Every structure is written in structure tokens, then in C-alpha cells.
Structure 1
Amino acid sequence: MKAFEAALFDLDGTLVDTEPRSQAAWRRLFLAHHVPHDQRMLASFAGRPGKAVLTEHRHQFDRRHTVDELFAEALSYATTPAAPVPGAVELVRALHSSGTPVGVVTSGTRDYARAELDALGLPALLAVLITAEDVAAGKPSPEGYLAGCRALGVAPPRTVVFEDAPAGVAAAKAAGAYCVAVTTTQPAAALCAADLVVPDLSGLRWVDGHLEARLSG
């Protein structure tokens, strides 16, 4: 596999297994406001800024509630601690130990991202954090990953991006980066645009700037 000079990680579903908690929070919000929903609607939030997706469904809610109010209500339901994705913390530590600059590009807010990263013990290992507040357009726009590459001083083709959602994979590829997708929240078929698809990060090793995938069986 080609050598890389930097790495950028998505947060939810890639570093920390928050998708079950997130879907439960969105479901609770919809039920509280008597909004019809199905699994496809819940899955549409994966990898995208929550406020942007809520805006698309704004017409289904009472007009007395703003998108900001609805988003804050959903966040109030997402209080259960989430576990790290297998191999995620170990891979970030290996990258940092090798001197490879590492960053996070997330569709979440800065306060939210910092809280999740603090729980993983990772902030000191990260060179950059790009959040929803730092970009004009969220994923699948490549803006966040392009900003991350600029901040790290590494061109996108020399950067490996780790993602879990189709919108994130699309953003990484549009930026020109190599993309590894994990099937923590989506089936492999939904992530086929990625360069490499793996179950989680536990089978990956970082050796001299090269990413090695350990084959099972």
C-alpha cells in the first residue's frame, strides 16, 4: 500500500461508536414531536451535520420550534457514554508515536467533539480539529478535509482519511485523499467508493508511513 504523510479521522462511528446512541436520540426527538420516521430517515443523519439534516425535515415539525432548539433537544437525549471503535485509540497512538500528524474532521460541534475526544484521551495526540463551525458546507462537501490537509501541511493525495459514512467517504474522495471506511454504521456496499473497507480499525497497523491491513482467517 502507498505511503502517507498524515491522517485525518472522522469522529462518530469511526473513532467512537456513537451511532446507536445518535439514532436513539433522533428517534426520541421524532417521537416527542409526532414526526413519522423510519430507519432510512434515521440513517440519513450519519456523517452529516445534524442541523443540516434537521433543516431538510423542518417542515414536519411545529413551526414554533427552531432548528437550533430541535438540535439542542436531540443532544439532550444523547447522554449514554459510547465506547471507542475497536482499534481506534491504538491506531491514533501509533500514528502519533511515529511522528505522523493526525487530525479529526467531524460534522459535530466543537464542544461535542472535544467532550468525546476527552473521553478517549486523544486531544493531546491531535494536531488539528475541524468541526461544523469551521466550514460553510458539511460532508459530503470536501471542505472539511481540505481544511484539515491545509492545517497539517500535507497534500490530500498524501493523506489517509478514515470514515464510516457514505457522505464522509464522498467528502474524502472529493478532496483527493485515500479513504479507509469502517463498516461500524453502514454495510460495505454503501461504502464501496472508499479505497479500502474494513470491519473496524483493529486489523490495521501503521509501519513506516504505510498502512497495513491484517487479513483475518
Structure 2
Amino acid sequence: MELIPLRAAVFDLDGTLIDSEPRNRVMWRKLFEAHGVPHDEDLIASFAGRRGLEVLQDLLHMFPGRTAEELFEEAISYESLPGMPPPQPVPGAVDLVRSLAAAGLPLAVVTSGQRAYAEGLLNVLGVRDLLDIVLTAGDVATGKPHPEGYLAASRDLGVPPDESIGFEDAPAGVAAVKAAGMTCVGITTTQPAMALAAADHVVADLQQVNVAPGPALRVPASGV
């Protein structure tokens, strides 16, 4: 095990604290199917970690006559369809947040999701009151992989990026954490370890991460 000193921790939400990715992938597939647009798993995976509106703007040429806003609203409407996979906590996530909070560390979430969506999931997890800051898609001008969200979290927490740790499950998020100057822990809940190679440490889930005196994080030295 390796010890990483820290003064603050910042988490992504989808795929990092809660495994909502299976549901999200179904939503995006349904959107493409509803419009008869060809798609594959790589295209669906390109939404991971990014603001949905920004991805749709990049793909707008595939949906003639539609706006990104219309498509996004259509996609999120599928969340309430019967049979959608319910999101589940990432193993170890709730215990880690509680342990970090008990150690007196400032905590934040930086997510590409919308405010109501993020607040709802954090309340489901039962950790919203442990977080000092929640930054959502509407709080930044540019989404991941741009570091704006993580830099804003660092500023608002009052802890320099190089004394903070960011947790992410997607390549875009890992890139954002590293560009902000934070140590990055990648979690292979939605992506293979190879896709998260830019992270400083890669773990299978948050059961492999523990809080040690210092405070510090104890992570496997060899990754997953």
C-alpha cells in the first residue's frame, strides 16, 4: 500500500460515487435509436464524464433539424421509463466519504450532471450533508476534460490543487483532474484500467482506498 498526503478530496459523481452509467448508456442508446442514428459502444462511451449538451453539440450533424437542447431533454426523459437500471453506490464510496469527513477534510463533488440530478443522487447516497461544495454542469463555462470545475472546487475549498486528490472514472475526468494539478485516483467502474492510464493511481473501486492518520489516503501501490 502507498500513502498519499492530502488536505482536500474532490469526487466525480456518476461512475465514481454512484454507478449510474448502465442507466445513462441506455438513455443515450434510446436517443440514437429513436432518431434512427447509427451508433456503437465507442460512441455511447464518449458521453462518459462529459456534459451531455457538449457531446450532443459535437454530434449535432447526426440529428438534422434538431437542437442539442431538444435532444438532451429527450434523453433525460428516458430516465423514468419502466425497467431502467437503478443506480447503485460504488462499493466503498459512502464509507470513504464518511471517513474523509470524519477526518475533518473539506470535500467537494464536480459533476457533468445537472443540479437537480446531482443533488438527487447525493441524497440517495446519504452524503450530501458531508460535502462542502457541489459543482454541476451549470456552474462552469467549460466542462471536462477542461479543468475549470476542479480549479473552482480547489478555490472554493481553500486548498491548493497540489494538496488535493480527485477521484474519477472516465478519461475526460482524469484529464480534468490532472490539468487542474491534482493527484488523480482512477476507478474502473465504467472504463478499463488502460483508459485511465493518465491517473496517478487506478483502483477497482473505493473499497481499495482507506483514510490513514495524517490525514492521508492508503491506496494499492500497484493499482488494480
Q: Which residue of 1 aligns with 2:219?
A: 213
Cα distance, 1:59 vs. partner? 1.2
Question: What pairs with 1:85-164 in structure 2 (closer than 5 Å)?
Answer: 85-164=90-169
Alpha-carbon contact 1:139-1:168 (below 8 Å) kept: yes
Q: Deviations over 1:169-201 (max 9, x none)?
A: 000000000000000111101101000000010
- Unaligned runs of 5+ residues in structure 1 are none
Question: What pairs with 1:1-217 in structure 2 (closer than 5 Å)?
Answer: 1-63=3-65, 65-79=66-80, 80=84, 81-208=86-213, 209-213=215-219
Q: Deviations over 1:16-51 (max 9, x none)?
A: 001111111000010001111011100000000000
Q: Distance between the aligned counterparts of 1:173 and 1:57, measured in 2?
A: 26
TM-score (norm 2): 0.93
Q: Distance between the aligned counterparts of 1:184 and 1:78, measured in 2?
A: 20
Q: Distance between the aligned counterparts of 1:7 and 1:133, measured in 2?
A: 21
Q: Deviations over 1:80-107 (max 9, x none)?
A: 4200100001100000111101110001
- Unaligned runs of 5+ residues in structure 2 are none
Cα distance, 1:150 vs. partner? 0.6
Q: Distance between the aligned counterparts of 2:6 and 2:219, measured in 1?
A: 14
How many percent identity over aligned positions?
Answer: 55
TM-score (norm 1): 0.96
Alpha-carbon contact 2:4-2:218 (below 8 Å) kept: no
Q: Distance between the aligned counterparts of 1:167 and 1:67, measured in 2?
A: 20
Cα distance, 1:72 vs. partner? 1.1
Q: Distance between the aligned counterparts of 1:43 and 1:201, measured in 2?
A: 22
Q: Deviations over 1:90-141 (max 9, x none)?
A: 1000001111011100011111101111111111000001111111110000
Aligned residues: 215
